[in-house]
Amino acid sequence: MGRKRVIDQQAILDAGEAVVARLGAASLTLDAVAAEAGISKASVIYDFKTKQALIEAIVERAFRRDREHHAAVEADLASSDSLAIRGRIKVAAEPPPEEFKPVALGLSVAMTLDPELRTRMQKSQAETINRIIETASSPRSALLAYLAVEGLKFLEYLDFHHFDPADRAGIIRDIDWLVTATPPDDKAGR
Q: In Å, how far from its chain's centre is CA 151? A: 13
- Rounded to whole angstroms, the Cα distance separating 125 from 123 reads 5
- Rounded to whole angstroms, the Cα distance separating 170 from 83 reads 21
Give the residue among 105, 112, 133, 84 at the shortest CA–CA distance from 20: 105
Confidence band of 16 (pLDDT split at 50, 70, 90): very high
- Rounded to whole angstroms, the Cα distance separating 180 from 136 reads 9
**How much of the chain, in percent, has pLDDT values that exceed 90?**
77
Q: Is residue 65 within a helix (H) or strand (E), and if so which, with residue range?
A: helix 51-76
> Within 10 A of 74 (CB to CB), how many other CB atoms are there?
19
Give all domains of the chain, ordered by start, each with its CATH number.
9-178 (1.10.357.10)
Judged against a pLDDT cut of 50, whether residue 106 lies above it is answered with yes
What is this structure's pTM?
A: 0.85
- Rounded to whole angstroms, the Cα distance separating 37 from 174 reads 43
- Rounded to whole angstroms, the Cα distance separating 139 from 134 reads 7
Judged against a pLDDT cut of 50, whether residue 190 lies above it is answered with no
Give the residue among 126, 132, 158, 130 at the shortest CA–CA distance from 145: 132
Confidence band of 182 (pLDDT split at 50, 70, 90): confident
Give tens-digit pLDDT for 50-76: 999 999 999 999 999 999 999 999 999
- Tell me what the mean pLDDT of segment 142-164 comes to: 94
Give tens-digit pLDDT for 157-180: 988 999 999 999 999 999 999 998
**Which pLDDT score, from 0 to 100, does residue 4 have?**
54
**Which pLDDT score, from 0 to 100, does residue 155 have?**
94
**Which pLDDT score, from 0 to 100, does residue 1 have?**
52
> Within 10 A of 182 (CB to CB), how many other CB atoms are there?
8
- Tell me what the mean pLDDT of segment 1-15 comes to: 77
Give the SS3 label for residue 135: helix
